Structure 1
């Protein structure tokens, strides 16, 4: 008889607990509807210890109210990031719980809220990034990724923000995860111009964009290819390894990437950039030459080869700069470097001229050197004039050009240039 009494008392205790829990959840829900989210959270916290004995329906209701309280607080700018994360976790747990029970009373609303939270987290991350709070921006985007592990784009930008914030360990972990999931970011962006604002807008899908065009709310549709980000990802992994003093790991990482993606020129360039960073110029030139075989119209690559070659072979450097200009006629730095190649040879001539005496033989040699020096100025002149034409506000260009005009005794040109630049 005594044991029966104990069982009856236990049942009564559970019943009373369930009753108290239901009341607290309802009270929290009521406080939230009244606009008092802080009070609602306090009331809900009192119900949390009793959840183990709650029914599936009560647990679902608890999670739904918990998520809405946190979301309301975040909307009111109260610990925004923390509350958005808490709301997302509650709604995710709710969806998972209702999936197990086969009931979906709150799933639809929770799913909509999760989507809303993702947008809020992204907007908050952009604000933090704009304010240069890169670590916070990275953490927020990682939360978005955790809400949807298929949204690898958010992990990519989380890694980028981590790099900007100097958090290399975190960025390395994110980049390696992107690498392991074979993320490229390659795709197509869809644009059309709004007839209301006359501004171009981007759409998430082609179907959505085309629908707006058919409805005549937008015009001038266009597609834009999004290039692969693999090269950047692998390059950043390698550069972080280099920054950590792990050069062999860096080389191995990019070598493996190229073996797996032999036709991805962005990876070949990433590997080339690594060897440039390591000052292995011979390997750099070899790799860039391979890339140019597949993409012979890349002016920047020819320019880079010119810069590298200028350290050892000015004739090769000159040829590369001219190729860059042939592809890109307004490549100002290529014109400047061509002029520098010519003018750099002046120093040796000046040094020899200063060592000459006054003998007849020396005087003849002086005349030869003077003619050589004049020829140097003449050869550099068209490159300097073109550079000035492209960028007249570049002080180094205008000053050098003035000196060359002076050396060639081109008085009229020098006077005209002085008038242009206000000297």
Structure 2
């Protein structure tokens, strides 16, 4: 009889607790409808310990997320509240996913979309002021809100690399690898007649519909290549930076098995062996790359970059010039050729500055001066072509101006200066 009394008392306690939490949730909902977000948050904070089942927990998280999102829209402590709202909506999605009953996640869809957009915009602003770690975290939270948008996971990983937080970047890259993310896509653009801004669409049909409705004009498309090679390259380089060479080799080997036709992965593996000074394997892999795509200008150019980074300047120049043969308008090859040659200038200047005024030193000085002038002259054809192909590139134009000035080529200097105004 005593045990039976305990059971009845426990049941009574649960029903009272359930009634109390329902009452609190109703009060919070009422406060939220009246625009009293802080009051709603206070009520919910007090009720949190009373939440006993998934249905009520989902409602609790729905109301809490909406309360914090309302504060964000009112510009109240935006950064802090954005993080709380994002985490709350993430928890809501997980709770309903686990229970198999999707109700409040659907109702919160617009708010979730709004928080996601604000997270991405805030992350962009963070990266502009070198707050890469903060930006990466926000991009990751945006991904967690809507996991089908795997591009946000990719950008989060890349931004962590920019922050030099390699362990966090590696974790996200490994997640991208499991998802077999490529990032290859085609985006469709059209300019709004209302505000003159370019809007992006996921399909040509969506974009063309807006054109037919007359709200947009100037349609264009943009193809984005696969990012898989870059992902595996960064995984490999992170392992190399940690001194984990075997893990790096394993990662790139697995990538090639999974994606045998991706030439960029062969390039990544080649770069690894170049980093580890295994020139025999490196040359073998480079041969494979060129056999697969002998006229792929981007591939050949990247071979130039890899060799330049490894200070193999003879091979780098060979690949840059080959890229120009394949595509005479490939501006980056001209720029990199000139930049690579100009790297030698500092060493020449350092030697010149160390010389004295003796007859022998004067002779050496003049020889170095001639060498510097010849170096500058060798860059002129590449810089002039780069300026011709990309006149909007101010850095290249400034470099060419400096070369003209150093060689006292004043007519050319003045002509280029006039074009830059």
Structure 2 length normalisation: TM-score?
A: 0.72
Q: Helix, strand or coil for the counterpart of 1:224? A: strand
Q: Helix, strand or coil for the counterpart of 2:141? A: helix
State the shift of 1:58 in Å: 4.9
Assess if the C-alpha contact under 8 Å between 1:91 and 1:111 holds in 2. no
State the shift of 1:418 in Å: 8.1
Structure 1 residue ranges (4+ consecutive) displaced by more than 6 angstroms after TM superposition: 1-8, 335-341, 376-382, 417-422
Give the Cα–Cα distance (whole angstroms) in 2 for the partners of residues 31 and 145 of structure 1. Answer: 30
**Residues 300 and 185 (structure 1 numbering): CA distance in 2 closer, same or farther, change over 3 Å?**
same
Partner of 2:85: 84
Q: Give a deviation string over 1:197-240, Cα, whole Å, max 9, x none.
A: 44432112322112111212223323221100011000000110
Partner of 1:386: 381
State the shift of 1:153 in Å: 1.5
State the shift of 1:183 in Å: 0.9
Higher mean Cα deviation, 328-337 or 266-275? 328-337
Q: How many residues align?
A: 376
**Residues 129 and 303 (structure 1 numbering): CA distance in 2 closer, same or farther, change over 3 Å?**
closer
Q: Helix, strand or coil for the counterpart of 2:243? A: coil
Assess if the C-alpha contact under 8 Å between 2:68 and 2:82 holds in 1. no
Partner of 2:322: 323
Give runs of aligned pairs for residues 336-375 of structure 1, distance below 5 A.
Answer: none
Give runs of aligned pairs for residues 104-123 of structure 1, distance below 5 A.
Answer: 104=103, 106=104, 108-123=106-121
Higher mean Cα deviation, 174-183 or 298-307? 298-307
Unmatched tracts of structure 2, length 5 or more: 345-358, 361-369, 388-395
Assess if the C-alpha contact under 8 Å between 2:404 and 2:410 holds in 1. no
The answer to whether the aligner puts 1:35 opposite 2:35 as a matched pair is: yes
Q: 1:166 aligns with which of 164, 167, 174?
A: 164
Assess if the C-alpha contact under 8 Å between 2:189 and 2:199 holds in 1. yes
Give the Cα–Cα distance (whole angstroms) in 1 for the partners of residues 140 and 342 of structure 2. Answer: 49
Give runs of aligned pairs for residues 115-264 of structure 1, distance below 5 A.
Answer: 115-264=113-262
Higher mean Cα deviation, 180-189 or 376-385? 376-385
Give the Cα–Cα distance (whole angstroms) in 2 for the partners of residues 132 and 248 of structure 1. Answer: 33
The answer to whether the aligner puts 1:25 opposite 2:25 as a matched pair is: yes
Q: 2:337 aligns with which of 334, 339, 343?
A: 334
Q: Give a deviation string over 1:266-312, Cα, whole Å, max 9, x none.
A: 21222233334334455445434433331425262574588599959
Give the Cα–Cα distance (whole angstroms) in 1 for the partners of residues 318 and 412 of structure 2. Answer: 29
Q: Helix, strand or coil for the counterpart of 1:220? A: strand
Assess if the C-alpha contact under 8 Å between 1:265 and 1:291 holds in 2. yes
Partner of 1:266: 264
State the shift of 1:159 in Å: 0.7
Give the Cα–Cα distance (whole angstroms) in 2 for the partners of residues 215 and 377 of structure 1. Answer: 62
Give the Cα–Cα distance (whole angstroms) in 2 for the partners of residues 214 and 63 of structure 1. Answer: 42
Partner of 2:44: 44
Assess if the C-alpha contact under 8 Å between 1:339 and 1:381 holds in 2. yes
State the shift of 1:396 in Å: 6.2
Q: Helix, strand or coil for the counterpart of 1:262? A: coil
Q: Helix, strand or coil for the counterpart of 1:189? A: strand
State the shift of 1:20 in Å: 3.2
Structure 1 length normalisation: TM-score?
A: 0.72
Give the Cα–Cα distance (whole angstroms) in 2 for the partners of residues 317 and 86 of structure 1. Answer: 48
What RMSD, in angstroms, separates the aligned Cα atoms of the two structures? 4.2
